[in-house]
Structure 1
Amino acid sequence: MRKFPRGSVLLIVNSTTSSSIFYTFYEAQSLEASLDRDPSQTLLLVWLRGSLGCSSLFGNFMEIGPWHDNLHGGHDDHDQQVHFVLESNPEFSAIFSSTTQLVPNLASHLYLANTTYIELDTELLRSHPLYITCESQADKYSTARNHLNLLFLLLLLLFFFQRRVATSSSLPLFPREAHPTRSGYLPVNSTSGSAIFYAFYEAQNLTTDISKVPLLFWLQGGPGCSSMLGNFYELGPWRVNFHKHPSDPLALEPNSASWNRIFGVTFLDNPIGTGFSIAANSAEIPRDQGAVAKHLFAAITKFIELDPSFKTRPIYITGESYAGKYIPAIGYYILEKNAGLPAGSKAVNLQGVAIGDGLTDPIIQVNTHAVNAFYSGLINEKQRRELEKLQLVAVGLTTARNWSAATDARNKVLNTLQQMTGLATLYDYTKNADYKTSLVDELLRNEAVKAALGAKGAAPFERCSNLVGDVLNEDVMKSVKYMVEYLLKKTKVLLYQGQYDLRDGVVSSEAWMKTMRWEGIGKFMAADRKVWKVEGEVGGYVQKWGSLSHVMVSGAGHLLPADQPVRAQAMIEDWVLNKGLFANSLEASPDRDPSQTLLLSTARNHLNLLFLLLLLLSFFQRRVATASSPPLFPKEAHPTKSGYLPVNSTSGSAIFYAFYEAQNLTTDISKVPLLFWLQGGPGCSSMLGNFYELGPWLVNFHKHPSDPLALEPNSASWNRIFGVTFLDNPIGSGFSIAANSAEIPRDQGAVAKHLFAAITKFIELDPSFKTRPIYITGESYAGKYIPAIGYYILQKNAGLPAGSKAVNLQGVAIGDGLTDPIIQVNTHAVNAFHSGLINEKQRRELEKLQMVAVGLTAARKWSAATDARNKVLNTLQQMTGLATLYDYTKNAGYKTSLVDELLRNEAVKAALGAKGVAPFERCSNLVGDILHEDVMKSVKYMVEYLLKKTKVLLYQGQYDLRDGVVSSEAWMKTMRWEGIGKFMAADRKVWKVEGEVGGYVQKWGSLSHVMVSGAGHLLPADQPVRAQAMIEDWVLDKGLFANEVGREGLGVSQISKPTN
């Protein structure tokens, strides 16, 4: 019997610090003695020692190992097991003694150690059935920690089975289930041998006689890109695993949202020379859409001859991008050919065409990029003008029929836009990384996959052919709009786009659609645009009249079926079958059942195991959350100071505050900045900012609805290196006290007076507060409070002797603020229109309502003007059907009610020092009603004054439809400030945080403007790290505020967790 382990080594879990886990491994004794046993059937046992800081060698030599200390009676272990012993690093004892939130570090070490061991002996660990045992002592672990141990073990199991799925020899790269029904070549020139490659997938579920099952043909764009991109990345029955981790192997995964669920789908590599298609010589590659159509017609008619049922089946031509030209061309060609046949005869039974994010009328579409990007918050006024000049060059060259030069000019427009925005891709402005379409190349360069597809040729597969692109260079700017106009008279047409596509998206497409010379265009433009729901969420919008349907798909970019597979499938099925939204219903077709899509393959059996493990994981996680759970408001979450700051010592009216000192002092305490945060509303509590956005502890708003409410530490808190005070303003808001309603402010003058009283009282609480630089910050309706208190402070300071200050104000920061309502209310229609959320008709309706609000404001009819603004916003909400106007990308509103739940807990109120018996209200209706007449009054003049005396930051989230970047930029440029001209002429820089585009900054003098990418109205909640980076660098005049593109110094690794 072997005394020494087969393996014992340090497994590195942190290559930087060399932290490691020691292990000892013993092979099964019977396996070593017998050569006829299958090693893959031998159990693999992992032993973890439970006590804090205790070595697993205790278990090895004192309990279950093959050799025991001779002072103890031992027992032989089961000879059918393998022992793999992980040694605890001494640092684990300290980790377990620390706070609960650090416990997952152990899981991560175990995960890494297991990975490392897999790499050491791949055959051993991947093939053995895995069992994990542990020993835990009740006097060392609480019930919750025992459950956490089980959670860690399940994570380890999950990882193991995931790796088995990814590497098992039973899963070839191209499983038999992924093979097409038919594939091969359709000749377009029988003499030369030029041919179009095809891959056909029959409908998985027959809902009618086979002779009536629709046949879809899919064409890719480019020009010169292979339809295998659509097949294996977007809408085919099996797709590459593009959501995988970079270190995971390439694999195919079944696609339950495949377009061949109930239709047959054929992917055509078009034109010849593209993908697997064959061009006998470059001279045969089409140079215009006439030649493209001729080849496609030859291929489609050859395909129809392959099966008798194909002759009667209805045919639809579909595709995306540059196929916005191919599809009208082949559709037009088919209808022309059919027209020349005897009555009742058809060469091809064409029933419709569908174009996704298509380039169809380039002379109009190229002229939309600047306005689209501007109203998406991606470029500023200066950049818009620069881009529009380049667009006009492209338009002029197109008009002059200088085709090659026009194509180059269009490319210059797109390249310039790419440089201006710094985006990962113009095909989806929300993405932090480009589409992973190179995985399709990797798949199709595999010889076994090529053989399975019946593809010919020795050259490596190219997703997009440069040669084809070059040959069609002069075709790019030529319009095929007249072909679409013809098609609309003979068959149905679907035009659909993804919301986030900056190249050929909804703004680009709607621009040319409305210029069509089609007798139905007037009625189409007057038709209602309906909210379309899929699985209970807004899936997009549909406008339909006669033979034309237009769909904007929410949450998608250019490769729409990859971004929103379920919505894309619902759309194409309902359009083909004239159901759901295409039958004037708001819901997707009710009989769609993705579960019918594919028979279970070997991969799916493994996925079932993963699902069961996830179910177990969820169960134990719930037990952890409910067993011996920590208090709702842990001691570490208590503010440094909290209480009341009187604004009227006679009546007792007072503003509630909660102050959190800086967690990390980077300078003397007397110099550490103090931030005051004000919430909006009017009448909303700053506890929303505290516990939902930027405080050191936040409610767990990402939790599952059935999980209990809890507070979680926020590593992106604004009090990382600054002190932060949250003020419930005005009195009557949150925990603040209004002795009577008459004392609640009715205008910004009264608001400022109260805030000044509160801030000066706060400064008296600590000697260091008198010298510390002060910044007033906040969001939303605080876009009025902040200028008001800033103006008031500066006016008060000006009346003091030279060198004296009542408040050491150094700057103000306004996030997504309502500041100049008469201008801001006039931006909602244009903003929503260029975001693809409303159509031309709805825009005009909304603009009429906006003008009413503007007129009433100009007439100083304040209450009626406020009502008119509310009507604008309510109408926009109804038109779009959005979950919230505060972020048009969300499928559900912000879960701010969790703050109410937290602060209605009496123990939490007591810990905060809050008074009153009434339940906490996140937003006070009484305060809102009292300030009703204040809403439409402007405080822009106060901002103008502030800019002369101190620095100002205006920042907005990209997706806010109420007070976002479009709304704010509109009033900013109208300011009467001597620096506004130079500010408007200043460069707008790409700002990166952690290697990603965090947004854009424009700065001159005392004014800084930031658009934060990926955020809505509650910006610090949506993008916490970016918000923290922004406020820290602005206060400290660093990074982007020092005219540098990147953020200086404060990498994410330097952002500390809250101190205990």
Structure 2
Amino acid sequence: MEKNSLLLPLFCALFLTPFFHGGLFASAFGVKDGSEQWGYIRVRPKAHMFWWLYKSPNRVNDPSKPWPIVLWLQGGPGASGVGIGNFEEVGPLDTFLNPRNSTWLQKTDLLFVDNPVGTGYSFVEDESALVKTDDEAALDLTTLLMKIFNRNKSLQNRVLYIVAESYGGKYAVTTALTALKAIESGMLKLKLGGVALGDSWISPEDFVLSWGPLLKDVSRLDNNGLAKSNRLARLIKQQLADGQFVEATNSWGQLEQVISDNSNNVDFYNFLLDNGMDPISTVSALQSTKGISLNRYSRYLNSRKFSPGGDGDLDTLMNDVIRRKLRIIPANVTWGSQSSQVFSSLEGDFMKPRIHEVDELLAKGVNVTVYNGQIDLICSTKGTEAWIQKLKWHGLKEFLSLDRTPLYCGNDTRTRGFTKSHKNLHFYWILGAGHFKLICFGGNVKAHIELIILQTLASWPILLWPQARYISAGHLASAFGTADGSEEWGYVEVRPKAHMFWWHYKSPYRVDDPSKPWPIILWLQGGPDSPVGTGYSYVEDVNLAVKTDEDAATDVTTLLKELFNGNKTLQESPLYIVAESYGGKFAVTLGLSALKAIEDGTLKLKFGGVALGDSWISPEDYVESWGPLLKTVSRINNGALTTSNSLVQEIRQQISGGLFEEATETWGELENVISNGSNDVDFYNFMLDSDSDPVSVVSALPTRMSTDISYSSYLDYRKSLSASSSAGLPALMNGVIRDKLKIIPAKVSWGGQDGIVFPAMAGDFMKPRIDEVDELLAIGVNVTVYNGQVDLICATPGTEAWIEKLKWGDLNKFLSMDRTPLYCDVSGGEHVTKAFTKSYMNFHFYWILGAGHFVPVDQPCMSLKMIGSITQSPN
């Protein structure tokens, strides 16, 4: 498919327009070169609206393509477009008065208005003059447009586009209809090009109903929080149906508090963050309120208190430098001082939907563009898609049936968005953006969230010495190590002609405390790529590759016997099996195999427990989660969701019928459908494309011809990881590391037999291992589950689904518990939520925020804290 690299800039240019000459209004001022003009218009007695018009320096005079004007409408209600929209989002200067290289003036003139009266510099002389409805605000704006346009023929020759954000979307649709009526009656002389609704509060009911399920899907709510949220959302729905709009506004405030309390203060403008860490919203944590909680919407009114990366205080800027520049602000008017009254005055209209107005605009042929940030919560994409499906517009069915087109920025091949259009309705899904999503103009974007966490690679020892024993038994003829005893490695022949490689590191942080033995972690990778035939492990005959998880567990148990049985020092340290991905299936089968060996006296070790990291325990539950999750985060549309769900049903039937190899084949087909329908989403981080995650570093999934090809996306996931080698991890392992180890047979290359392991296990790959987890819990073994928030292959909703299938006697008590938020460096003043956890008896769960499939890489600090807790490390 040809990449549509021009569409995003064109999208931004859609809403585009002119400038007019001074002297038309007694209160109008401007700069000498005519590039700016501002002033007040009395829209009603005692109601004064402030406006500010910028003329683009890039303006092109072409009669066939009139230069556009954007009327920017801020949300709130009560947030200042002149302040927030101008200095924090799209205007020519930022809050430090430095030029913004992403200003929309590159494509259009900009008209900022402090709307409704009482917002920003706009003011009323009497509170009774504040508007109480969106329609009243629309009348005021239409009056302002009449005053600005009707006496200026230059402006009348251009096209006005109304672009709105958040609550401003309700103003946009009501103003457009009012303006059209005035145009038709001859009272307003302008050309209306269309409206653009950015994360707009068009249907409050649909948004509040989406909050709980969305936050549950991305690990910010548990089942308890979801139940509380859904109860209030249903109450709001009933209140709206009964016309109790003020009561619904009050319940909305209560719901926000419940969401905040149960998510540990999620950011309502970026659900991947806490509400104090988003450089866009920069809001303080919600505080408990009593009665009507209208003031809690101040999180939006104060959303741009400081600019990213510095001390740019918007209040100070607007009430000092900018006020002095403008020269016409009355002495008794303070920027933003009446904003809270604006919201209170509109409390009866705040929760009213405006879907009907969108329908009316579409019916009249007006261009309506909807755009939504992928990680917005307050006006979530799920909620937006829900209200769009309620439209009565005659073209809706055709619109919904269309496939989406991926969007890119310039030469950047990463997927930045999706779009589809039919007639005069256009929708943009903007990836990586929250409530404030201005990605069209490239990298200097305030709403940009850094999703990629860089990995630091450890350096390897240079001085190498063979035969340096620290496993004292001495019966492993192929064991080598470093001179200081900190490392040892070797081969164990676990079966005739089946050789397993191991590498043991001794911690430099080790504390010798008899009351708290220093733990050992056995790390099991996924793939499946832990059995013989993986990495440096090898078989002399391909027929010796294991075919089941139990076979693999037996081999590793044999290895543990060789390592532990003759070494009393190791026997004193508890062993914890920590697994990632498919390694989780090895972990639980190995746990049971090792326990049996311990009980019959053939294995001498202390077993501490198992930890299952993003583990492939129940393939059925994971594949069932993929489609809905990707739909939730805007990576697939309804068509791909339907195709995905159809294949999932086939997989379920195959697993139920014991057709596991067939299920593996269908799984490969499903991955291909997901890849094609999502424009190659990364299966290890659903916020990224498959080739843009420096951790997984996987190529776009190819058309699936066979399952061994399809799983190469995991086997190759570290292809280019090494910072010291341009050829990546294979070159490192087959070069410097091989030279260091000295014992790798000449005919063995690292990863050389990987291709035989997965096909050999095709009949076991899709088998669930829930029963094994149950058995471990029943025995009393500590079982820890941890999952990365943005993993797809082993998605958190899938993990939660299989956990709910456990027959463990204490499951209901575990599920009923609330979660505890976790932080990394509280002593250093950091209070950013990094994870949630809850534990009951011997079962423990960690939800790791901001992490994908590879939790130790994505969240190293939280990973280290978690493993210390799991192993009860004395350090």
Question: What CA distance in whole angstroms lies between the structure 2 residues aligned with 1:568 and 1:297?
Answer: 34
Question: What CA distance in whole angstroms lies between the structure 2 residues aligned with 1:457 and 1:666?
Answer: 70
Question: What CA distance in whole angstroms lies between the structure 2 residues aligned with 1:779 and 1:924?
Answer: 17
Question: What CA distance in whole angstroms lies between the structure 1 residues aligned with 2:32 and 2:305?
Answer: 23
Question: What CA distance in whole angstroms lies between the structure 2 residues aligned with 1:1022 and 1:1000?
Answer: 16
Q: CA deviation at 1:548?
A: 1.0
The match for 2:613 is 815
Q: 1:410 to 1:649 in 2, by over 3 A?
A: closer
The match for 1:640 is 486
Q: CA deviation at 1:640?
A: 2.7
Question: What CA distance in whole angstroms lies between the structure 1 residues aligned with 2:267 and 2:459?
Answer: 45
The match for 2:171 is 326
Q: CA deviation at 1:910?
A: 2.5
The answer to whether the 8 A contact 2:637-2:677 is kept is no
Equivalent position SS for 1:830: helix
The answer to whether the 8 A contact 1:644-1:654 is kept is no
Matched, 1:799 2:600: yes
| One-letter identity of the residue aligned with 1:206 | R
The match for 2:669 is 871
The match for 1:543 is 420
Q: 1:415 to 1:1037 in 2, by over 3 A?
A: farther
Deviations 1:905-956 (A, max 9, x none): 5332132345033442398121111112211111111000111221111111
Aligned-residue identity in percent? 23
Q: CA deviation at 1:526?
A: 0.7
The match for 1:886 is 684
The match for 1:761 is 562
Matched, 1:182 2:37: yes
| One-letter identity of the residue aligned with 1:533 | Y
Correspondent of 1:932 among 762, 769, 772: 762
The count of residues paired between Structure 1 and Structure 2 equals: 742
Q: CA deviation at 1:231?
A: 0.8
Q: 1:264 to 1:422 in 2, by over 3 A?
A: same
Q: CA deviation at 1:805?
A: 6.0
Q: CA deviation at 1:252?
A: 2.5
Deviations 1:310-330 (A, max 9, x none): 101111101111112111110
| One-letter identity of the residue aligned with 1:1025 | C
The match for 1:771 is 572
The match for 2:391 is 516
Q: CA deviation at 1:555?
A: 0.9
Matched ranges for 1:206-605 at <5 A: 206-209=59-62, 212-227=66-81, 228-240=83-95, 251-305=96-150, 307-341=152-186, 347-423=189-265, 425-432=267-274, 433-434=277-278, 435-436=281-282, 437-439=304-306, 441-458=314-331, 459-462=333-336, 465-489=339-363, 490-534=365-409, 535-561=412-438, 566=442
Q: CA deviation at 1:1029?
A: 0.9
Structure 1 stretch displaced more, 957-966 or 666-675: 666-675
The answer to whether the 8 A contact 1:645-1:761 is kept is no
Equivalent position SS for 1:515: coil
The match for 2:834 is 998
The answer to whether the 8 A contact 2:270-2:376 is kept is yes
| One-letter identity of the residue aligned with 2:600 | G
Question: What CA distance in whole angstroms lies between the structure 1 residues aligned with 2:609 and 2:554?
Answer: 18
The match for 2:861 is 1025
Question: What CA distance in whole angstroms lies between the structure 2 residues aligned with 1:926 and 1:747?
Answer: 13
Question: What CA distance in whole angstroms lies between the structure 1 residues aligned with 2:166 and 2:539?
Answer: 60
Q: 1:914 to 1:373 in 2, by over 3 A?
A: farther
| One-letter identity of the residue aligned with 1:469 | F
Q: 1:219 to 1:743 in 2, by over 3 A?
A: same
The answer to whether the 8 A contact 1:225-1:465 is kept is yes
Q: 1:880 to 1:767 in 2, by over 3 A?
A: same
Question: What CA distance in whole angstroms lies between the structure 1 residues aligned with 2:846 and 2:494?
Answer: 38
The answer to whether the 8 A contact 2:119-2:339 is kept is yes
Structure 1 stretch displaced more, 924-933 or 447-456: 447-456
Q: 1:454 to 1:354 in 2, by over 3 A?
A: farther
TM-score with structure 2 length normalisation?
0.81
Deviations 1:604-662 (A, max 9, x none): xxxxxxxxxxxxxxxxxxxxxxxxxx9975459968333334243643x2211111112
More helix by share: 1
| One-letter identity of the residue aligned with 1:494 | T
| One-letter identity of the residue aligned with 2:249 | T
Question: What CA distance in whole angstroms lies between the structure 2 residues aligned with 1:446 and 1:206?
Answer: 31
Correspondent of 1:660 among 500, 505, 514: 505
Equivalent position SS for 2:426: strand
Question: What CA distance in whole angstroms lies between the structure 2 residues aligned with 1:635 and 1:523?
Answer: 68
Deviations 1:94-144 (A, max 9, x none): xxxxxxxxxxxxxxxxxxxxxxxxxxxxxxxxxxxxxxxxxxxxxxxxxxx
Equivalent position SS for 1:224: coil
Question: What CA distance in whole angstroms lies between the structure 1 residues aligned with 2:814 and 2:764?
Answer: 29
TM-score with structure 1 length normalisation?
0.67
Deviations 1:957-980 (A, max 9, x none): 111111021121111111111111
The answer to whether the 8 A contact 1:790-1:812 is kept is yes
Q: CA deviation at 1:305?
A: 4.0
The answer to whether the 8 A contact 1:745-1:751 is kept is yes
The answer to whether the 8 A contact 2:626-2:795 is kept is no
Question: What CA distance in whole angstroms lies between the structure 2 residues aligned with 1:923 and 1:1014?
Answer: 34
The answer to whether the 8 A contact 2:150-2:190 is kept is no
| One-letter identity of the residue aligned with 1:909 | R
| One-letter identity of the residue aligned with 1:747 | T
The answer to whether the 8 A contact 1:214-1:314 is kept is yes
Deviations 1:516-548 (A, max 9, x none): 111111111111122212232211111221211
The answer to whether the 8 A contact 2:415-2:431 is kept is yes
Q: 1:306 to 1:1029 in 2, by over 3 A?
A: farther
Equivalent position SS for 2:871: helix
Runs of 4+ deviating beyond 4 Å: 175-180, 567-571, 630-633, 635-639
> Larger Rg: 1 or 2?
1
Equivalent position SS for 1:915: coil
The match for 1:907 is 736
Equivalent position SS for 1:295: helix
Structure 1 stretch displaced more, 918-927 or 391-400: 918-927
Question: What CA distance in whole angstroms lies between the structure 2 residues aligned with 1:257 and 1:549?
Answer: 23
The match for 2:48 is 195
Question: What CA distance in whole angstroms lies between the structure 1 residues aligned with 2:852 and 2:430?
Answer: 20
Equivalent position SS for 1:993: coil
Matched ranges for 1:39-78 at <5 A: none
Equivalent position SS for 2:72: strand
Q: 1:738 to 1:455 in 2, by over 3 A?
A: farther
Question: What CA distance in whole angstroms lies between the structure 1 residues aligned with 2:603 and 2:31?
Answer: 79
Q: CA deviation at 1:483?
A: 0.3
The match for 2:540 is 739
Matched, 1:825 2:692: no
Deviations 1:251-274 (A, max 9, x none): 222222211212111111100000
Q: CA deviation at 1:566?
A: 2.6
Q: 1:221 to 1:570 in 2, by over 3 A?
A: closer
The answer to whether the 8 A contact 1:179-1:452 is kept is no
Correspondent of 1:836 among 631, 634, 642: 634
The answer to whether the 8 A contact 1:825-1:854 is kept is no
| One-letter identity of the residue aligned with 1:679 | Q
Structure 1 stretch displaced more, 915-924 or 502-511: 915-924
Question: What CA distance in whole angstroms lies between the structure 1 residues aligned with 2:405 and 2:551?
Answer: 45
The answer to whether the 8 A contact 2:520-2:576 is kept is yes
